[in-house]
């Protein structure tokens, strides 16, 4: 095979490359993007978030509280602050993502049991930073507060054990599930891998259909049914091959994420494959519809690229369905299949959800494919017939 390729002319090599290009897109593009974005988001722990501390009190007590912040791996502390305006400017410039202001008389109020207060500024334009900053600060202040209360109680008639029991009579023990480190990569990867599969399949499949439509346009009107059936069988085989390569590519992306980037795969791999197979069937229906609309490959490809963000933001992954406007999610479920794939991917990969729990998504995706594949075939066939009649 290598010798055959070596003996080809440049034109023949270009034609060969164009022939296999759709399969290379489906197989390699998701893998390349997984390595690229995985490397970018791979730190599992969100650490060293820069925050500022403005100590207006400058007392031993305020110093004692501030020292606790230096022990937090989540926060990176700077105290080179001289005013609240400077804090606001640094937040605006993105140099820090939060700030703590310890007011004057903080230590005096703390010693006098007058309810000493500190002010927290938080840049929540990035909610992942904001949640981590707030969680770390709350933990530190709860620890400091418990220590202060125990000292007061021990200063009375209680022994240390009794003081500790009094302080910790009622406690809230939090357990953050599925993404305990509140990391970017855990959250984003199931969504990214779903979008990679969708866009690679459209980028490869839609141009094939548009080119086929244009090829049929130029064929004689008296085309035999046997010829059409042969070509239809070839198209089915090509789409089945693309679906198989898409599943292989997703598995490769998952393996890379697990081995190189520490992503935990909790669920059953075969359930995940089942969902992807049904999803790609539904996407075939949408590819037929898109190909029936556009005459030029470039226009069809541009349109599929524009679908990336709208479909991602409206599929219930980034914004939950119950918070959408009434009726919005129902429309999305009817016109685009990503909703039935992206949430199950997240639940399988991060939560280990099984098929029984995700059955409604699977049934929904099967129904979607059962409706839209015939619609796509009908539209595609009518469009071919129409342009053939016009062309003749």
Output the pLDDT for position 331. 94
Q: Which residues of the chain have pLDDT under 70?
A: 1-2, 43-44, 153, 155-173, 221-230, 392
Rounded Cα distance, 202 and 30, in Å: 13
Sign of CA dihedral 236, 237, 242, 243: positive
What 3-state DSSP class applies to 34? helix
Taking each helix axis from N to C terminus, what angle separates 355-391 and 339-346, rounded to the nearest 10 degrees? 150
**N-terminal to C-terminal alpha carbon distance within the chain:** 41
Q: What is the dihedral of CA 75, 81, 85, 91, to 10 degrees?
A: -30
Q: Are 338 and 167 in contact (CB under 8 A)?
A: no
Token pair belonging to 173: 């023990």
- The closest of 79, 59, 60 to 69, measured between CA atoms, is 79
Phi first, then psi, for residue 56 (nearest 5°) are -85, -10
Residue boundaries of the structural domains of the chain: 1-42+183-390, 49-167
Domain 49-167 sits in CATH at 3.40.1710.10
Residue of 274, 309, 276, 304 lying closest to 208 (CA atoms): 304
- 3-state DSSP assignment of residue 18: helix
Residue 223 is predicted with a pLDDT of 62
Residue whose tokens read 């059962």: 370
Contacts of 215 (CB under 8 A, 6+ apart): none
Q: Would you give the DSSP letter of residue 98?
A: E
User: What is the reported pTM?
Assistant: 0.81
**DSSP conformation letters of 200-239:** HHHHHHHHHHHHHHHHHHTS-TT--HHHHHHHHHHHHHHH
- Cα distance between residue 162 and residue 18, in whole Å: 78
Burial class (CB in 10 A: 0-12, 13-18, 19+), 103: middle
Model pLDDT, residue 44:
67
Crossing angle of helices 184-217 and 339-346, in 10° steps, is 150
pLDDT in tens, 134-170: 888 888 888 887 777 777 767 666 666 666 666 566 6
Is 58 in contact with 105 (CB distance < 8 Å)? no
- 103 and 57 in contact (C-beta within 8 Å)? yes
Pairing of strands 75-78, 98-102: unpaired
- Provide the pairing of β-strand 98-102 with 119-122: antiparallel
Collect all residues with Cβ–Cβ distance below 8 Å to 368 and sequence separation of at least 6: 282, 285, 333, 334, 337, 340
For the stretch 210-229, pLDDT in tens is 998 888 887 776 665 666 66
- The whole-angstrom separation of Cα 313 and Cα 321 is 11
């Amino acid at each position: 095979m290598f010798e055959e390729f070596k003996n080809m002319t440049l034109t023949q090599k270009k034609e060969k490359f164009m022939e296999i290009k759709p399969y290379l897109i489906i197989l390699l593009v998701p893998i390349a993007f997984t390595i690229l974005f995985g490397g970018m988001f791979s730190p599992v722990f969100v650490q060293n978030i820069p925050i500022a501390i403005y100590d207006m009190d400058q007392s031993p007590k305020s110093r004692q509280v501030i020292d606790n912040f230096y022990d937090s791996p989540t926060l990176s502390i700077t105290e080179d602050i001289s005013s609240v305006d400077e804090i606001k400017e640094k937040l605006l410039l993105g140099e820090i993502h939060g700030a703590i202001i310890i007011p004057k008389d903080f230590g005096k109020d703390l010693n006098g049991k007058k309810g000493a207060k500190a002010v927290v500024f938080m840049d929540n334009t990035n909610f992942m930073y904001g949640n981590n900053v707030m969680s770390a600060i709350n933990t530190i202040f709860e620890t400091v507060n418990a220590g202060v209360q125990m000292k007061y109680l021990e200063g009375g008639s209680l022994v240390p054990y009794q003081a500790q029991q009094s302080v910790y009579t009622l406690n809230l023990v939090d357990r953050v599930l599925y993404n305990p480190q509140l990391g970017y990569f855990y959250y984003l990867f199931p969504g990214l891998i779903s979008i990679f599969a969708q866009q690679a399949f459209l980028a490869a499949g839609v141009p094939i259909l548009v080119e086929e439509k244009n090829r049929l346009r130029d064929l004689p009107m008296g085309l035999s049914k046997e010829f059409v059936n042969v070509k239809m069988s070839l198209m089915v085989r090509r789409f089945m091959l693309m679906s198989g390569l898409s599943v292989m590519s997703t598995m490769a992306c998952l393996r890379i994420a697990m081995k190189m980037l520490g992503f935990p795969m909790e669920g059953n791999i075969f359930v995940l494959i089942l969902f992807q197979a049904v999803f790609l069937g539904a996407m075939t229906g949408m590819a037929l519809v898109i190909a029936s609309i556009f005459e030029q490959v470039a226009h069809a490809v541009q349109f599929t690229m524009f679908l990336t963000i709208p479909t991602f933001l409206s599929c219930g992954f980034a914004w939950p369905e119950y918070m959408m406007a009434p009726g919005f999610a129902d429309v999305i479920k009817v016109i685009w299949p990503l909703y039935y794939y992206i949430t199950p991917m997240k639940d399988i990969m991060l939560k280990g959800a099984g098929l029984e729990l995700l059955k409604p998504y699977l049934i929904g995706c099967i129904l979607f494919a059962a409706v839209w594949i015939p619609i796509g075939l009908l539209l595609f066939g009518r469009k071919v017939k129409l342009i053939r009649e016009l062309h003749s």
